[in-house]
Amino acid sequence: MANLISSIIISQQEGNNKTISKPSFTIDTTGKVTPLEYKGKLLPSRIIGSPVTYAKDLKDDFVNIKDAANGKSNDYKLGRINDVAMKLGSLALASYLFVKNPLKLNKVKEYIGFGTFFASMAVWPKLAIQLPIKARTGVDIHQKYIDSQGRKKMLYLDPQYVLTDLYSREDLDRIGKGLKVSENLPDRDNFIKQRAQKTALQGNTLWMMTAGAATPVMSALACNALEKPVSKLIEHSNLVSTNRAINTPEVFDNVSIMKSDIKELQFSKFLKKNKNKSLSNPEFMSQLFEKLSAGTNSATINDGLKQELNALLEKPTLSAEAIQKILKDKVDISSLSDNVKEELNKAISEQNFNKIAELAADTSNLTGAKNKKARNQFINSLVKTLKAEKSELKSNTTVQEASERLMSLYKNLSQFGRERKILDDYINVRAVGAGSYVANHWERVSNKFLNGLTGKTKSFLSPKELKAIADGDIETLSKCLDKLAGSKNYNKVVMDLINMVNGYEEEVGESFLENVEQKGKEIFKKTSNNLKKENFIHTANKISSNGEIKDTAQNALINSVKENVSGARSSFYRLLQTIDLFKQVQDGSFESVLRNAIEAQGQTADKATIDRLISLCKKYLLTATTTDNVEKLKSAGFNVSEDEFKIMMNVLYNSNAENSITRSLSEKIKPEEANKLLEGFNSYKEEYKEKVVNWVNGITPELSRRTQGEAAQSADAVARNSLVGKSVLDFAKDAAAKRLRSDKWLKIFGGGMIVLTAATIAATFAIGRKSKAEKELEAENKVNG
């Protein structure tokens, strides 16, 4: 402040004597070089720069790097190179993580992370510091300027070197007004410039103090917020692209054919390189297996492939000399007739050991009924000896000899792998693993259900209740479902859930499964037939068979897809059914349905029995994970008799019975439309009744025992489990736990971010304020004025 005061004193003294003497000499500048006129100017402040400028800057940066690599640069250019290097390094890292991550969403997230981090670095100081200060004081602390050499710099970067001369008259007046500088202050412009510089210094320091905490958290929060829309976009693009690929494989096949041509060439080279090796070489064998099994994507097929390769190994033959040597002690070959000799030679060449032994037995006079036993013993022993001798021999088949067959096997499997990849992609994006439609939809339904329980107001489901549900407290969940049944929100929740489940049926319902089955059969069967034609029976049978073999890759794939899809589907319907049950219990309709069912069984429907069965029905839908038999349920804590259980099943899975959902939907849409929406729900109940309720009632087991094999029974068990789905308690528990986790994370970091932002913006109010000295100076001037 001292130099400001002194400068004002000097300026006041100068004010008294305004005549400034001119120099008494002149300089002739003709033909001389004079300093260039300064062409620097302030740059307009933008939140997002123009793409043209970015492109131009980027081009300049690369020219700078080229110049610097040749030793030509300056501080400004080196500074920019540092920024470019940081972005390039981050891009390289994001690209590596993009490739490394198997999930498409995670791949995209790497670039989102990269983008949001740099965006946060730029946005934080702008939003929390620069703009609030500018709005209040008029000083843009990140004001940029371009100098005569075209270098873009921050005006206030170096507090000791600020080109405030670049400010126009209007700028200074605006800033002076914002900083509330008295109009009549002598040397007002200088005073404004110093105050602006001070304001910028304070703002920049605040930026340095807060950026470290704000940038990563802001970036993490942005990533979190972008996750849902991005995952939805990716899901949509995956569904469309795989659908197109499976319907028009020829379009997508070109690239993969080219790739597989290259691979075939590589495989052929591999065979050539090892042409002199024996097929029995274990190291070669393992390399061979690895290459052949690369695209099969099935343990079942790989089992067949192993057998195929072993079959290729069974090439060694016992030579005629070796066989004759064994027969020498038992048969006098020279005494044999020409016919017998011919037969023997034929058997030797065919390696038909039984025939050889039979011929040998004939020549040893072991004929007739008397010698039958001795003859058999002779034959068995000779066959055994010959086989033992053969097994001693190692395969001498060289790779070269087998290369034609191996190449043919490789080509078939390679084509199969290519076609299967399209089918696998089609299946995976819909039904398998994290990121698939099924997994994402599960998440969406979970959220919708929880939001339904939560209601529009927070009081509907308190954090305490959420925690209790996450801990698996059935009482709390029942209480919440009761609340939902009685709330105005009920119709909307039910409608939303029905739409979601129908959406699921549309995407991965019957038509999807039929498509998978049809395409699967097409691809697997074709490969299997081709392989059979070329006598690769082991592999062919493991890929697909005409029904005689159950353990095929085709069946495994189709079954696993069905299982995946129907498990989630059942869980969704079970959820709907539970919501429906709670509503029916509340409006009293379930009581009458139950009473009728009990009376139809010839039992008395007293209040206690009805209440007991209602509570059992609720408990069944909320917690049961098995339906095999009543005993199993009893061990799971259900105090229920067989008769009672049958009543429960028949009541719960009666698709004809009117349900609360139909009533609820009818309030909003026409009954026909409501019935259409509930088609899937009703067919689920039908299926359940057929496969599970009948099982419980003792019909299916007998039927399956009589008509189907054990494999069919076990397949039924899998189908039944899929129909049971996830218990509603487990479903709610997982959803609540996940919600709690994300709430916790958001609470910590989102809350922290809010506090930091509020504190930073509040701190900007202390920036640019007049210091005591400045106030004193203005006050003094007012008095003088």
Partner 1 sequence: MVYNLGLQNINNNHGIISFGSKQDKEKKIEHKSDVLLYDEKKKHPLILGAKIQADKLEKACTIYPKKGLQGSKNANFYEFLTMGEVPYLIGSGMMIATFNLASKFFDTPSAQSASKIGKKMGLGVLLYGLGKTFSKKLIEVPVNMKYGIDVNLPYKKKIDELPEYNNKKDDLVSYEYHKAYESVDFSRWDLFYDNKSYGDERNSYYKKIGKKLGLTNEELGTAADQKVKPLITDKVVKTKVFSTLSSYLWAATGVGIAMQKPWENITFNPKKIIQTFKNNSKIIEQNEHAIKNNWFKDFGKRFGESCYKLVNNESKSASIAGRLLLGSAVAMTLLGNFSTLFDFNKNRGTNSSAATSIIDENKEKVVC
Choose which of 10, 47, 63, 93 interacts with partner 1 (CB under 8 A): 93
Q: Between 206 and 674, name the residue whose CB sits nearer to partner 1.
A: 206
Q: At what angle do helices 338-350 and 353-363 cross, to 10 degrees?
A: 150
Q: Is 69 near partner 1 (CB under 8 A)? A: yes
Beta carbons within 8 Å of 776's beta carbon, 6+ residues apart: none
Q: Select the residue interacting with partner 1 from 6, 11, 12, 82 (CB under 8 A).
A: 82
β-strand partners of 41: 146
Does 70 bind partner 1 (CB under 8 A)? Our answer is yes
Q: In whole angstroms, what is the distance from residue 324 CA to residue 360 CA?
A: 11
| Min CB(179)–partner 1 separation in Å | 12
Decide: is 20 part of the binding site for partner 1 (CB under 8 A): no
Let me know: does 122 contact 133? Beta carbons within 8 Å: no
335 binds partner 1 per the rule CB under 8 A:
no
* 216 or 249: CB nearest partner 1: 216
3-state secondary structure (DSSP) of residue 274: coil
By the rule CB under 8 A, 213 interacts with partner 1: yes
Instruction: Tally the residues of the chain.
Output: 785
Shortest CB 467 distance to partner 1, Å: 11
Kindly state the tokens that stand for 609.
Answer: 């029995």
Stretch that binds partner 1, among 195-203, 317-325, 374-382, 648-656 (CB under 8 A): 195-203
> Using CA atoms, how far apart are residues 453 and 469, in angstroms rounded to an integer?
11
* Least spacing, CB of residue 785 vs partner 1, in Å: 22
**Per CB under 8 A, does 159 bind partner 1?**
yes
Shortest CB 34 distance to partner 1, Å:
6
Q: Which of 9, 10, 55, 78 binds partner 1 (CB under 8 A)?
A: 78
Q: How far is the CB of 25 from partner 1 (least distance, A)?
A: 12
Instruction: Work out whether 36 is an interface residue with partner 1 (CB under 8 A).
Output: yes
| DSSP, residue by residue, 203-261 | HHHHHHHHHHHHHHHHHHHHHHHHHHHHHHHHHHHHHHHHHHHHH-HHHHHHHHHHHHH
Supply the DSSP string of 669-719, one letter for each residue. S-HHHHHHHTHHHHHHHHHHIIIIIHHHTTSHHHHHHHHS-HHHHHHHHHH
Whole-angstrom Cα distance, residue 157 to residue 236?
47
Nearer to partner 1, 178 or 680 (CB): 178
Task: List the one residue from 208, 255, 369, 783 that touches partner 1 (CB under 8 A).
Answer: 208
* 68 in contact with partner 1 (CB under 8 A): yes
DSSP state of 154: E
- Binding of partner 1 at residue 62 (CB under 8 A)? no
- Segment interacting with partner 1, rule: CB under 8 A, options 28-36, 179-187, 546-554, 644-652: 28-36
Name the residue among 135, 149, 126, 164 with its Cα closest to residue 42.
164
Q: Cβ contacts of residue 539 below 8 Å, gap of 6+?
A: 301, 304, 305, 307, 308, 409, 413, 531
Asked if 160 touches partner 1 (CB under 8 A), the answer is: yes
Task: Indicate the DSSP class of residue 101.
Answer: -
Q: Does position 280 bind partner 1 by CB under 8 A?
A: no
| Complex with partner 1: residue 677 or 777, whichever CB lies closer | 777
- Cα separation, 570 vs 725, whole angstroms: 5
Q: Which stretch binds partner 1 (CB under 8 A): 200-208, 372-380, 523-531, 590-598?
A: 200-208
The 3-state DSSP class for residue 141 equals coil
Q: Which of 2, 52, 255, 369 binds partner 1 (CB under 8 A)?
A: 2
Nearest Cα residue to 163 out of 124, 197, 125: 197
* 199 touching partner 1, by CB under 8 A: yes
- Output the six-digit token pair for 118: 């740099």
**Amino acid, single-letter form, for residue 439:** A
Q: Which of 10, 47, 58, 86 binds partner 1 (CB under 8 A)?
A: 86
The one among 54, 62, 745, 765 contacting partner 1 by CB under 8 A: 745
In the complex, the smallest distance separating the C-beta of residue 273 from partner 1, rounded to whole angstroms, is 20
CB of 661 to partner 1, least distance (A): 33
Q: Taking the complex as a whole, how short is the minimal distance between the CB of residue 161 and partner 1, in angstroms?
A: 8
Q: Give the H/E segment covering residue 144.
A: strand 144-146
> Minimum distance between the CB of residue 96 and partner 1, rounded to whole angstroms?
5
130 binds partner 1 (CB under 8 A): no
Q: Is 468 in the site for partner 1 (CB under 8 A)?
A: no
Does 428 bind partner 1 (CB under 8 A)? Our answer is: no
Rounded to 10 deg, the angle between the 510-533 and 399-431 helix axes is 180
Output the smallest distance, CB 266 to partner 1, in A.
Answer: 13
Q: How far is the CB of 622 from partner 1 (least distance, A)?
A: 20
Q: Is 748 an interacting residue with respect to partner 1 (CB under 8 A)?
A: yes
Per CB under 8 A, 494 contacts partner 1? no
Instruction: Return the residue of 13, 17, 21, 34 that touches partner 1, per CB under 8 A.
Output: 34
By CB under 8 A, residue 1 contacts partner 1: yes
Task: Provide long-range contacts, Cβ within 8 A and 24+ apart, for 766-770.
Answer: 766/202, 767/133, 767/137, 767/199, 767/202, 767/203, 767/206, 768/133, 768/136, 768/137, 768/139, 768/179, 768/195, 768/198, 768/199, 768/202, 768/203, 770/179, 770/180, 770/195
> Which backbone phi and psi does 43 adopt, to 5 degrees?
-100, 140
Pick the closest to residue 202 from 121, 144, 141 (CA basis).
141
**CA-based nearest residue to 768, from 276, 134, 190, 337:** 134
- Binding-residue total with partner 1 (CB under 8 A): 69
- Nearest CB to partner 1, comparing residues 336 and 763: 763
| Strands 41-43 vs 144-146: parallel, antiparallel or unpaired | antiparallel
Q: Based on the shown chain and the rule CB under 8 A, indicate whether residue 765 belongs to the binding site for partner 1.
A: no
Regarding 469 and contact with partner 1 (CB under 8 A), the answer is no
211 contacts partner 1 (rule: CB under 8 A): yes
Tell which one of 45, 205, 345, 596 touches partner 1 (CB under 8 A): 205
Given candidates 42, 43, 90, 560, which one binds partner 1 under the rule CB under 8 A?
Answer: 90
Q: How far is the CB of 12 from partner 1 (least distance, A)?
A: 19
Q: Which of 277, 718, 749, 750 binds partner 1 (CB under 8 A)?
A: 749
Query: Phi first, then psi: what are they for 552, rounded to 5°?
Result: -120, 160
Q: Does 33 bind partner 1 (CB under 8 A)?
A: yes
190 forms part of the interface with partner 1 (CB under 8 A) = no
Q: Does position 206 bind partner 1 by CB under 8 A?
A: yes
Q: CA angle at residue 379 from 376 to 382, to 5 degrees?
A: 145
Query: What is the residue whose two structure tokens read 């008799």?
Result: 641
Of 119 and 556, CB closest to partner 1: 119
Range in contact with partner 1 (rule: CB under 8 A) among 65-73, 169-177, 496-504, 589-597: 65-73
Does 63 help bind partner 1 (rule: CB under 8 A)? Answer: no
For 482, other C-beta atoms within 10 Å of its C-beta total: 15
CA of residue 406 relative to chain centroid, distance: 37
Binding mask 98-117 for partner 1 (x = CB under 8 A): -xx-x---------------
Among 130, 204, 454, 722, binds partner 1 (CB under 8 A): 204
Residues lying near partner 1 in the complex (CB under 8 A) are found at 1-3, 27, 29, 32-36, 65, 67-75, 78, 81-82, 85-86, 88-90, 92-93, 95-97, 99-100, 102, 148-149, 157-161, 198-199, 201-202, 204-206, 208-209, 211-213, 215-217, 220, 470, 737, 741, 744-745, 748-749, 771-773
